């Protein structure tokens, strides 16, 4: 009888372990994209937004990211994206006045998968609650948009931050990412966290190391499978290959498993999607 009881116990533990593994395998992947769409600038001529917007919406619809962080989005572009991507809920404000002026760093999330719990915006500055001011040594006022989202299927929550660090200010980039880490602890200290953005940093620069020391993982480093070029900025194809750099990143908290990472090099027949390539990452919430 003792042997039978022991065998039953062992089988039960094996079944429990098998169920846990099966549950992990059955977790629905979370597709996360970051994409600097390039602001609407008349000087871009044939690469102007009006010639790119339809292709941008078609590309996003094709890849169907669940979470999408974009940068350099002006208000008219925001309206075009909302119209062209009705399957998403869009969040964000202009960085100049906290309303519609200046570039947005918007978040788009899959409305069928997530429910919005809470969201907000803050400036990357010494006064984060004041939108429209420059921080530290930045050349431009910068903004971050964040959201707490809940999965409809299982009730799990996560926090998602999207930003665009300054192109000139080294101190501003370093302090900006530290501010984002502080905000994660303040807003959602016990939730899985995702940060997307144009960080205006190459992979070996201090701000990215600050994020890693703060408990975030660079998806380009930890993904089980990586594909595509090692760069994301190409200036509408004008930059020579040897001068192209990776500026766009997805960071995830340590509780997530990063399966796949890709820099998407898609080119529409009639031009470019942007002066940056989008980055797409497949992660599992654990």
- Give the residue from 118, 113, 120 showing the smallest Cα distance to 67: 113
Q: How is residue 250 written in tokens?
A: 């997805």
**Euclidean distance between CA atoms 216 and 191, whole angstroms:** 12
Output the pLDDT for position 26. Answer: 56
Say what the pTM is: 0.91
Cα-to-chain-centroid distance, residue 156: 18
Would you give per-residue pLDDT tens digits along the chain (286 residues)? Answer: 444 444 444 344 444 444 444 444 457 899 999 999 999 999 999 999 999 999 999 999 999 999 999 999 999 999 999 999 999 999 999 999 999 999 999 999 999 999 999 999 999 999 999 999 999 999 999 999 999 999 999 999 999 999 999 999 999 999 999 999 999 999 999 999 999 999 999 999 999 999 999 999 999 999 999 999 999 999 999 999 999 999 999 999 987 999 999 999 999 998 999 999 999 999 998 7
276 within 8 A of 246, measured Cβ to Cβ = no
Output the pLDDT for position 62. Answer: 98
285 within 8 A of 26, measured Cβ to Cβ = no
**Euclidean distance between CA atoms 47 and 41, whole angstroms:** 9
Output the pLDDT for position 28. Answer: 87
Domains of the chain: 30-285 (3.60.10.10)
85 within 8 A of 53, measured Cβ to Cβ = no
Q: DSSP 3-state assignment of 171?
A: helix
**Share in percent of the chain as helix, strand, coil (round to 5):** 30, 30, 40
**Euclidean distance between CA atoms 264 and 279, whole angstroms:** 6
Q: Give Cα separations from 267 to 57, 98, 205, 245, 271 (angstroms).
A: 13, 33, 29, 18, 7
> Of all helices (H) and strands (E), which one includes residue 208?
helix 206-213
Output the pLDDT for position 270. Answer: 87
Backbone angles phi, psi at 121, to 5 degrees: -140, 150
């Amino acid at each position: 009888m003792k042997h039978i009881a022991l065998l039953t116990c062992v089988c039960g533990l094996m079944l429990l372990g098998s169920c846990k593994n099966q549950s992990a395998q059955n977790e629905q992947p979370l597709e996360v994209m970051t994409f600097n769409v390039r602001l609407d600038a008349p000087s871009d001529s044939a690469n102007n937004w009006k010639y790119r917007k339809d292709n941008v919406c078609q590309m996003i619809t094709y890849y169907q990211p669940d979470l999408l962080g974009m940068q350099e989005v002006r208000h008219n572009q925001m309206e075009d994206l909302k119209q062209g991507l009705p399957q998403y809920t869009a969040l964000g404000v202009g960085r100049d006045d906290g309303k519609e002026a200046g570039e947005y760093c918007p978040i788009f999330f899959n409305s069928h998968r997530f429910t919005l719990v809470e969201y907000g915006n803050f400036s990357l500055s010494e006064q984060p609650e004041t939108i429209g001011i420059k921080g530290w040594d930045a050349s431009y006022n910068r903004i971050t948009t964040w959201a707490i989202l809940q999965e409809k299927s299982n009730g799990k929550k996560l926090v998602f931050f999207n930003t665009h660090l300054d192109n000139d200010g080294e101190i501003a980039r370093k302090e900006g990412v530290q501010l984002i880490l502080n905000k994660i602890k303040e807003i959602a200290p016990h939730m899985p966290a995702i940060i997307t953005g144009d960080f205006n940093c190459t992979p070996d620069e201090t701000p990215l190391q600050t994020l890693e020391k703060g408990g975030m993982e660079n998806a380009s480093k930890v993904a089980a499978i990586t594909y595509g070029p090692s760069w994301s900025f190409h200036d509408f194809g004008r930059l020579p290959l040897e001068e192209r750099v990776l500026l766009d990143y997805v960071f995830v908290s340590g509780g997530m498993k990063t399966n796949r990472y890709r820099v998407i090099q898609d080119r529409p027949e009639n031009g470019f999607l942007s002066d940056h390539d989008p980055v797409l990452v497949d992660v599992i919430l654990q």
